[in-house]
Chains A and B, each alone.
Chain A
Amino acid sequence: MTNPTKTPVAPGPAREPGPAQDQDGRQPAREPARIRRTLGAPLRSPGVTLSVLVLLLVLGWAVVPEWFTGRSPLTGTPGERFRPPGTEHLFGTDQLGRDIYARVVHGASLSLRATVAALLIALVGGVVLGLVAGFFGRWADAAIMRIVEIMLSVPPVLLSLTIITALGFGTGQVAIAIGVTSVAAFARVMRAEVLRVRTAPYVEAAILCGTRWWRILPRYILPAAIGPVLALAALDFGLVVLAISSLSFLGYGEPPPAPEWGALVAEGRNYLATSWWLTTLPSLTVTVVVLAANRLSRVLEAEGRNR
């Protein structure tokens, strides 16, 4: 049997030095002041305000698309093919006379649902694996972390494609593929945090009070360790949107009539020379959403670190 007890702490990709412990007993800032500082200061920057507005708009598209467009995303008017962007058709129309703006708005729900599902899979899977590996150590740690390292050593696209090929095509399958691929990174960050929290005197004090592991894990370790993992999830949001669009661009998502963002870009490719808006405007939408998500998550991460 090997001796895995002294496995070196592998720093996760987003590993930050742990937040400074409040050793000298300074009273923490009062609650309203803290909330004001957390939300107030970033909102003063125009870039962040814009990002929030963009994300709110896209969220609106996803939840209530009919408020934003009266047209159908699936049925077009044959007489209005290849209309350029204008007042009537904001993003123009495609080869079947469908309004591209309507397709983008209705596609938001598909894309965002897949994004959230992928992040949830990554988060839950990573947190559970990281908790088990970090807390129990020894062979559990060794086994889990070796699997995680194998997953990290395979290029993510290849891994995603392998999973989709096994599961079949569809937005749900794409979400699963992306989520499972991201589990490894989340597990490493979580494990590093758990290792830090586990040595805190109050955890040992809980053991001395007779608290059993199944109570220590959710009540002591999880709340103290999950911060950086949530920050990583926020950072990953934009990347996951991009990854899901990429896979559906490659044709692994919903079959054609569905207005998924990546699929819209793919369909438009055939008419790139004559009708630029077919690819450009949906692509720009994805780009803007990813940029907005990244900007906001950076701010949230910085705030979380300063706290």
Chain B
Amino acid sequence: MNVVNPAPGTASPAERTGTPLLAVRGLRIGYRTSDGTHIAVDGLDLTAAAGQITAVVGESGSGKSSTAHALIGLLPAGGSVLGGSVRLQGEELTGLGERAWREVRGRRVGLIPQDPGLSLDPVKPVGGQVAEVLRVHGLATRRDATARAVDLLAEAGLPDPAQRARQYPHELSGGMRQRVLIAIATAARPRLLVADEPTSALDVTVQRQILDHLQGVVTTTGTAMLLVTHDLAVVADRAQHVVVMSQARVVEAGPAEQVLTDPQHPYTRRLLADAPTITARAPRRDRTDNTEPPDAPHDSTSPEATGATAAPLLRVTGLTRAFPVRGAGLSRRRSRTAVDGVGFELDRGETLGLVGESGSGKSTTARLILGLERADSGAVLLDGADVTTVRGAARRALHRRIQFVYQNPYASLNPRFTVEELLTEPLRNHRIGAKEQWGATVRRLLADVALPAGTERRKAAELSGGQRQRVAIARALALGPELLVCDEPVSALDVTVQARILELLIDLQERHGLSYLFISHDLAVVAQVSDRIAVMRDGRIVESGPADELLRSPSHPYTKELLAAVPGDRRINSATEDTSWS
């Protein structure tokens, strides 16, 4: 346990005694809508102690972000605190006027916002944005603010701070921007830091560095931190206290150790069980290998399946694609190689996980395989037939065998269509079955993805994220494909929904003998579904191999780095050797 609670002695001891730094009692937050008041937070109790991290965990819509915004007096339009009390160092914050809030914000409570891409002023150098905080709170004069800002940026771990201070946000990477935001939040040395999903927009390796830094700030300065997150694994690694929220209420709260190892509330249990981890592999692993795919109900489309020899279903060799980059010079046309000599094989009934961080070229690889992009060189072979450059009718035929599931189910379904229209679209286009049978086929597809009857009459906009992704999967299955390319199919979904969709994908694979190319940035998700894993970086596959082997003994340093950065290992593996950060 002490391994996880790092050095409590470093926090100033005076803060540890007496009342907690932040005490929230019975907080109620409501939003006025056209049909009455919607209660976002209902009776929240919460304390945050100096030098500790208190995590607020919950799914989207559970009220955790509203809580964070209320603590800094920045509820969005229509939102208001309806009751309860928020006491910071014994002083009541609810009911403060705007002028009084200005003294509190930044000076006593700092906010680290979610999206570093949107939270900085794009037309101001970042150093000036840090200096502004100091000047607003009268902590520095105009002259020394600039120098102090550079110090703060250095403190936030930004390399080469003097030069970075003169740069604009678009010149910095996501992780650097988040460090700038941390410098802004900590500039006035607030006693409480509210971090609203501080790393969910970042890659895992960057996420780890940022969290390490935040944890260091908390332990060395004795600041209290309220960490709002949907990611239980992050909580497991970092927090001392956990508050679990569901549907506007706190369902469980207590020391992190206790909540995570001995959850009492069924919702917490479900959340814990559904969180993907590398160690907890899915149950399908023990099934025998893919010698004979189960009889597929989508009969006519896979005549080759019977004569399947040793040849892999999909073979990709030397795939390369470069995109022109609009550089500074007009004359010089540079290009960036998004996919650089990628090659792999995928057998029938097998799942290949393609892992990589943003910009590694994994999505472009998927689009090249589907014929949505033109490859510069290399080949995509489906059953030995070259499909790299198919157009027109041949490409339509290809899409009967390879289908695609998009990352964002909110964008990939036409909002104007009903589910029935969405699902009949592929049937109509490829003239599958008679018109009279389409209704039955749609209902069969919906049953396949475990959606209730009657869903076909609803519009996509009326469905939840998980339901939409099920519809998207059903649409992909309508053509009876052999290979499903899933590009981050669950990364836009909540943890519990994510687990259900992964189960569905595994179930469908077993029933229909599908092959998956499963693309994700999340090694833990990939670990759950994949037979083999390929790791991509900068357009290349740096390592690939059977999933168990690759996860157990990675050989490439980048794979090791990725594995080490996956949050949640520490506590769940009962803390092995991870005491190095501080």
- A contact set with B: CB distance below 8 Å: 21-25, 27-30, 33, 36-37, 200-202, 204-212, 215, 220, 223-224
Task: Decide if B404 touches A205 in the complex (CB within 8 Å).
Answer: yes
Interface positions, chain B 394-411, Cβ under 8 Å from A, are 396, 399-400, 403-404, 406, 408, 410-411
Task: Decide if B396 touches A202 in the complex (CB within 8 Å).
Answer: no
Interface-facing stretch out of B90-98, B184-192, B425-433: B425-433
Closest partner residue, chain A, to B396 (CB atom): A210
A202-B411 contact given A24-B60, A25-B60, A33-B35, CB 8 Å threshold: yes
CA distance A202 to B404 in the complex (A): 12
Task: Decide if A30 touches B411 in the complex (CB within 8 Å).
Answer: no
Task: Decide if A201 touches B406 in the complex (CB within 8 Å).
Answer: yes
| Residues in A neighbouring B472, C-beta threshold 8 A | 205
Question: Is B486's beta carbon under 8 Å from chain A?
Answer: no
- Least CB distance from A293 to B in Å reads 29
Question: Is B413's beta carbon under 8 Å from chain A?
Answer: yes
Closest partner residue, chain B, to A24 (CB atom): B60
Task: Decide if B34 touches A209 in the complex (CB within 8 Å).
Answer: no
Task: Decide if B35 touches A28 in the complex (CB within 8 Å).
Answer: no
A21-B410 contact given A33-B34, A205-B475, A211-B425, CB 8 Å threshold: yes
Task: Decide if B34 touches A30 in the complex (CB within 8 Å).
Answer: yes
Q: CB < 8 Å: which of A24, A28, A202, A215 contacts B412?
A: A202
Closest partner residue, chain B, to A209 (CB atom): B426
| Residues in A neighbouring B414, C-beta threshold 8 A | 202, 206, 220
| Residues in A neighbouring B400, C-beta threshold 8 A | 210
Closest partner residue, chain A, to B372 (CB atom): A204
Task: Decide if A210 touches B429 in the complex (CB within 8 Å).
Answer: yes
Closest partner residue, chain A, to B397 (CB atom): A210
Task: Decide if A25 touches B408 in the complex (CB within 8 Å).
Answer: no
Q: CB < 8 Å: which of A24, A29, A206, A210 contacts B34?
A: A29
Q: A200-B411, A209-B425, A211-B429 are in contact. List 18 more A-B contacts (CB 8 A).
A: A25-B410, A30-B35, A33-B35, A204-B372, A205-B404, A205-B406, A208-B403, A209-B399, A209-B429, A209-B475, A209-B479, A210-B396, A210-B399, A210-B400, A210-B426, A210-B479, A215-B429, A220-B414
Q: CB < 8 Å: which of B370, B425, B464, B478 contacts A25?
A: B464
Task: Decide if A206 touches B425 in the complex (CB within 8 Å).
Answer: yes
- B contact set with A: CB distance below 8 Å: 33-35, 60, 370, 372, 396, 399-400, 403-404, 406, 408, 410-416, 425-426, 429-430, 461-462, 464-465, 472, 475, 478-479
- Least CB distance from B398 to A in Å reads 10
- Least CB distance from B410 to A in Å reads 6
Q: CB < 8 Å: which of A23, A24, A36, A205 contacts B413?
A: A205
| Residues in A neighbouring B408, C-beta threshold 8 A | 23, 201
CA distance A204 to B403 in the complex (A): 12
| Residues in A neighbouring B415, C-beta threshold 8 A | 22, 202
Closest partner residue, chain A, to B371 (CB atom): A208
Closest partner residue, chain A, to B468 (CB atom): A25
| Residues in B neighbouring A24, C-beta threshold 8 A | 60
| Residues in A neighbouring B430, C-beta threshold 8 A | 210
Closest partner residue, chain B, to A21 (CB atom): B411
CA distance A232 to B412 in the complex (A): 28
Interface CB pairs A-B, < 8 A, 12: A23-B408, A29-B33, A33-B35, A205-B406, A205-B472, A206-B414, A208-B370, A208-B399, A209-B426, A210-B430, A211-B425, A224-B416
| Residues in B neighbouring A25, C-beta threshold 8 A | 60, 410, 464-465
- Least CB distance from B302 to A in Å reads 17
A28-B461 contact given A33-B34, A208-B370, CB 8 Å threshold: yes
- B370, B400, B410, B475 — most chain A CB neighbours (10 Å): B410
CA distance A208 to B400 in the complex (A): 9
| Residues in B neighbouring A224, C-beta threshold 8 A | 416
Task: Decide if A23 touches B34 in the complex (CB within 8 Å).
Answer: no
Closest partner residue, chain B, to A204 (CB atom): B372
Closest partner residue, chain B, to A34 (CB atom): B34
| Residues in B neighbouring A205, C-beta threshold 8 A | 404, 406, 412-413, 472, 475
- Least CB distance from B35 to A in Å reads 6
CA distance A70 to B580 in the complex (A): 96
CA distance A223 to B429 in the complex (A): 20
| Residues in A neighbouring B461, C-beta threshold 8 A | 22, 27-28
- Least CB distance from A218 to B in Å reads 12
CA distance A159 to B260 in the complex (A): 75
CA distance A66 to B412 in the complex (A): 55
Closest partner residue, chain B, to A205 (CB atom): B412
| Residues in B neighbouring A200, C-beta threshold 8 A | 411
A223-B416 contact given A23-B410, A33-B35, A208-B403, CB 8 Å threshold: yes
- Least CB distance from B192 to A in Å reads 26
CA distance A21 to B96 in the complex (A): 35
The 9 closest A-B pairs by CB, nearest first: A210-B429, A33-B34, A209-B426, A201-B412, A201-B411, A202-B414, A210-B396, A205-B412, A210-B430
Closest partner residue, chain B, to A30 (CB atom): B35
| Residues in A neighbouring B35, C-beta threshold 8 A | 30, 33
| Residues in A neighbouring B411, C-beta threshold 8 A | 21, 23, 200-202
| Residues in B neighbouring A29, C-beta threshold 8 A | 33-34
CA distance A298 to B295 in the complex (A): 61
Closest partner residue, chain B, to A25 (CB atom): B465
| Residues in A neighbouring B396, C-beta threshold 8 A | 210
- Least CB distance from A205 to B in Å reads 5
Task: Decide if B410 touches A22 in the complex (CB within 8 Å).
Answer: yes
Closest partner residue, chain B, to A28 (CB atom): B461
Closest partner residue, chain A, to B367 (CB atom): A204
CA distance A30 to B396 in the complex (A): 38
